[in-house]
Chains A and B, each alone.
Chain A
Amino acid sequence: MKILVTVTEAATVDTVFEIDGLDIDDRYLSTDLNEWDAYALEEAVQLAEAEGGEVVTVTIGSDGVEETIRQALAKGADRAIRVWDERLAALSVLDPLTKAAVLEAVVADEQPDLVFTGVQSADDSFGATGVALASRLDWAWGTIVNDLQLDSTVAHVTRELEGNLEELTDIQRPAVLTIQTGINEPRFASLRDITRAQQADIAVESFAELGLDDDAVVPSIERTDLYEPDTDGEATIFEGSPDETAAELAAVVEETGVTR
């Protein structure tokens, strides 16, 4: 069995930050393997360990994302593919439909039995690439999967809906599944795995190598502004030493009357 896992590098913003044009200034961003993708990867690696098979990751990004790809290799992926092209670099927004078009070409090359993605990325949070990819492939799909049992033709999944409700769904294979956090316990990489991953080759593919033409990217979304949101209704912030702020909070609690 071969499972293709999409791996994204997600950025988090430092406590104090500055905006530079249409993005946050790089100095205030730290990047990491997207949390959801860590669970998707772990799910694939566990399946491959149990049943035999190969786990291949695919990442859309410039060479700056290779450290994140190596994290995925250290956590059990067998191989990694990175796709980048000047046409992607020129986009204002790397949107889910564009990603799906690129990933479709990788699936055509790799012919996996299943594709796993994280439910969403932590930074842009579109939450749509998996379903868009399945639609392009004309495959079945399942989203927000927090439990998975595979048999030869069907994936039995539990989908997490809102309000403590779960949906039990049978999905025909092949399928794209979007994996929710909490489905497993992602492993920590050992020092030996990290060293091995540092030396691994990452296959780099351009549009030409994937057989994608100019039509694969339709730049229809343009970022026009980025700003800190209105802070209307901001909290009353107590300042001082922990003892002082605790005293203020205790007074608030007294005021509510709940301790009486």
Chain B
Amino acid sequence: MTVLAVAEHRRGELRPVSLELLSAGRELADATDGDLHAAVVSGDVESHADRLNREGVDTIHAVADGEEFNHDVYTQAVTQLAETVEPTVLLAPDTANGLDYAPAVAERLGAPLLTDALDLSYDERLTVTRERYEGKVETTLDIDAPQAVVTLRPGAWPRADGTGDAEITAFDAVIDESLVRSDVTGYQEIGGEVDVAAADVLVAVGRGIESEDNLDIIRDLADALDATIAASRPVIDNGWLPADRQVGQSGKTVSPELYVAVGISGTVQHVSGVRAETFVAINDDPNAPIFEVADYGVVDDLFEVVPALTDRLTRS
């Protein structure tokens, strides 16, 4: 079997998930003594190809069309490459941009698509592990098709290392410009006055706070801890706190000494953005995924525990 892993880069930088795809691809190819191909599309393909040349990579295809990511260029280039390489499994990252072209490639190849894979195995058939119901359960799916497209969750595999001796070849994709119907005109950073990434202590609040008015108990706790207030997505979407407070995949990645998560269920989109030395969670749902990443937890009503904690800290 051949595995084809499509790298991701943004604004000149190869993104680390690309190297994770190589680890996953090598494991999968090893199951059948097969080959691992990697591909890089657009931008400085030569330097990206050099960085993709890790142990276990057999061939790297460099597709030089375009500079920044454009899903119409990617869709055409990756589909054509897949028609040439004929991989059994095509791997892409489960990222904003990976999900912006992989479904179209799968549709054009007539191959089933599995997104946000946490694990892969191959024993005559491809088996993909995914989550359902916001991580409450995991499920395995068997794929009965000659070819499949799978997007991989960032962080679920280690980054490939070592130096490889892959053959680096240019692939001439034929890009039909009339089918390039989107034009990336620029980028903007979501700025703000508060940099949650710079804080040593964060009190992060989630949907469990229920309303903007209830934020007072969070402010009191933050004051007692001399902490900065952060938030998960629902709080930002509801307009209860500004966007610069958001921690998680679409917001900031933080690495404080202490992170106190209040009323946050702990979706992967949130917890992937937290690398705390000490992680404390308060949530009334004992099965909330937040307790899988927290060091310490209390399963109880936050409206009782938070004021009690503030009181303790203020007294001491």
Binding site for B on A (CB under 8 A): 11-13, 15-17, 19, 22, 24, 93, 95-97, 100, 122-132, 134-136, 140-144, 158-172, 175, 181-182, 185, 218-229, 231, 233-239, 242-243, 245-250, 252-259
Instruction: Enumerate B46-68 residues with CB–CB distance to A below 8 Å.
Output: none
Most chain A beta-carbon contacts within 10 A, residue among B103, B278, B297: B103
Residues of chain B contacted by A97 (CB below 8 angstroms):
103, 106-107, 112-113
From B75, B140, B253, B312, contact of A223 by CB (8 A): B140
The verdict on B124 contacting chain A, using a C-beta distance below 8 Å, is: no
Instruction: Identify the closest chain B residue to A98 (Cβ).
Output: B112
- Determine the main DSSP class of A at the interface with B: mixed
The verdict on B167 contacting chain A, using a C-beta distance below 8 Å, is: no
Q: Does A168 contact B226, Cβ atoms closer than 8 Å?
A: no
From B137, B252, B280, B292, contact of A231 by CB (8 A): B292
Residues of chain B contacted by A229 (CB below 8 angstroms):
131, 135, 137-138, 292
Contact A249-B280, Cβ < 8 Å, known A164-B189, A223-B140, A259-B313: yes
Distance to closest chain B CB from A238 (angstroms): 5
From B140, B143, B298, contact of A238 by CB (8 A): B298
Q: Does B139 contact A221, Cβ atoms closer than 8 Å?
A: no
Q: Does A166 contact B190, Cβ atoms closer than 8 Å?
A: yes
Show 27 residue pairs from A and B whose CB-CB distance is below 8 angstroms, ordered by the A residue: A11-B133, A13-B137, A13-B287, A100-B103, A124-B132, A125-B115, A128-B115, A129-B103, A132-B104, A134-B104, A144-B96, A164-B244, A165-B188, A170-B185, A222-B141, A222-B144, A225-B139, A228-B138, A233-B292, A235-B292, A235-B295, A237-B286, A245-B308, A246-B305, A249-B296, A253-B258, A258-B226
Q: Does A169 contact B96, Cβ atoms closer than 8 Å?
A: no
Contact A242-B103, Cβ < 8 Å, known A168-B188, A250-B309, A254-B316: no
Contact A162-B96, Cβ < 8 Å, known A96-B103, A224-B142, A235-B295: yes
From B101, B138, B280, B304, contact of A242 by CB (8 A): B304
Q: Does B144 contact A226, Cβ atoms closer than 8 Å?
A: no
Query: In the bound complex, how far is the Cα of B129 from the Cα of A223, in angstroms?
Result: 10
Q: Does A256 contact B278, Cβ atoms closer than 8 Å?
A: yes
Q: Does B251 contact A246, Cβ atoms closer than 8 Å?
A: no
Q: Does A258 contact B257, Cβ atoms closer than 8 Å?
A: yes
- Determine the main DSSP class of B at the interface with A: mixed
Q: Does B137 contact A166, Cβ atoms closer than 8 Å?
A: no
Instruction: Identify the closest chain A residue to B279 (Cβ).
Output: A235
Q: Does B201 contact A258, Cβ atoms closer than 8 Å?
A: yes
Contact A237-B291, Cβ < 8 Å, known A224-B140, A242-B305, A256-B258: yes
Q: Does B185 contact A169, Cβ atoms closer than 8 Å?
A: yes
Query: In the bound complex, how far is the Cα of B299 from the Cα of A16, in angstroms?
Result: 13
Q: Does B131 contact A125, Cβ atoms closer than 8 Å?
A: yes
Q: How many residues of B are in contact with the other chain, CB < 8 A?
A: 96
From A165, A182, A249, contact of B187 by CB (8 A): A165
The verdict on B100 contacting chain A, using a C-beta distance below 8 Å, is: yes
Distance to closest chain B CB from A38 (angstroms): 11
Q: Does B139 contact A250, Cβ atoms closer than 8 Å?
A: no
Distance to closest chain A CB from B110 (angstroms): 8
Distance to closest chain B CB from A197 (angstroms): 24
Query: In the bound complex, how far is the Cα of B179 from the Cα of A134, in angstroms?
Result: 12
Q: Does B139 contact A226, Cβ atoms closer than 8 Å?
A: yes
Q: Does A223 contact B139, Cβ atoms closer than 8 Å?
A: yes
Instruction: Identify the closest chain A residue to B188 (Cβ).
Output: A166
Distance to closest chain B CB from A180 (angstroms): 8
The verdict on B1 contacting chain A, using a C-beta distance below 8 Å, is: no
Distance to closest chain A CB from B123 (angstroms): 12
Residues of chain B contacted by A218 (CB below 8 angstroms):
112, 145
Contact A162-B258, Cβ < 8 Å, known A229-B135, A233-B293, A254-B316: no
Query: In the bound complex, how far is the Cα of B243 from the Cα of A259, in angstroms?
Result: 27
Q: Does A234 contact B292, Cβ atoms closer than 8 Å?
A: yes
Q: Does B287 contact A259, Cβ atoms closer than 8 Å?
A: no
Query: In the bound complex, how far is the Cα of B133 from the Cα of A226, in angstroms?
Result: 11
Contact A168-B112, Cβ < 8 Å, known A97-B107, A222-B142, A256-B278: no
Instruction: Identify the closest chain A residue to B75 (Cβ).
Output: A135
Distance to closest chain B CB from A215 (angstroms): 11
Instruction: Identify the closest chain A residue to B257 (Cβ).
Output: A258
From A16, A22, A128, A233, contact of B103 by CB (8 A): A128
Q: Does A249 contact B278, Cβ atoms closer than 8 Å?
A: no
Instruction: Identify the closest chain A residue to B288 (Cβ).
Output: A15
Query: In the bound complex, how far is the Cα of B138 from the Cα of A13, in angstroms?
Result: 13
Instruction: Identify the closest chain A residue to B190 (Cβ).
Output: A164
Task: Sort A-B residue pairs by CB-CB distance and give the 5 closest, nearest first.
Answer: A246-B308, A140-B181, A182-B237, A135-B104, A131-B103
Query: In the bound complex, how far is the Cα of B112 from the Cα of A230, in angstroms?
Result: 27
From A13, A181, A235, contact of B233 by CB (8 A): A181
Residues of chain A contacted by B233 (CB below 8 angstroms):
181-182
Distance to closest chain A CB from B305 (angstroms): 5
Contact A185-B239, Cβ < 8 Å, known A124-B132, A229-B135, A235-B294: yes
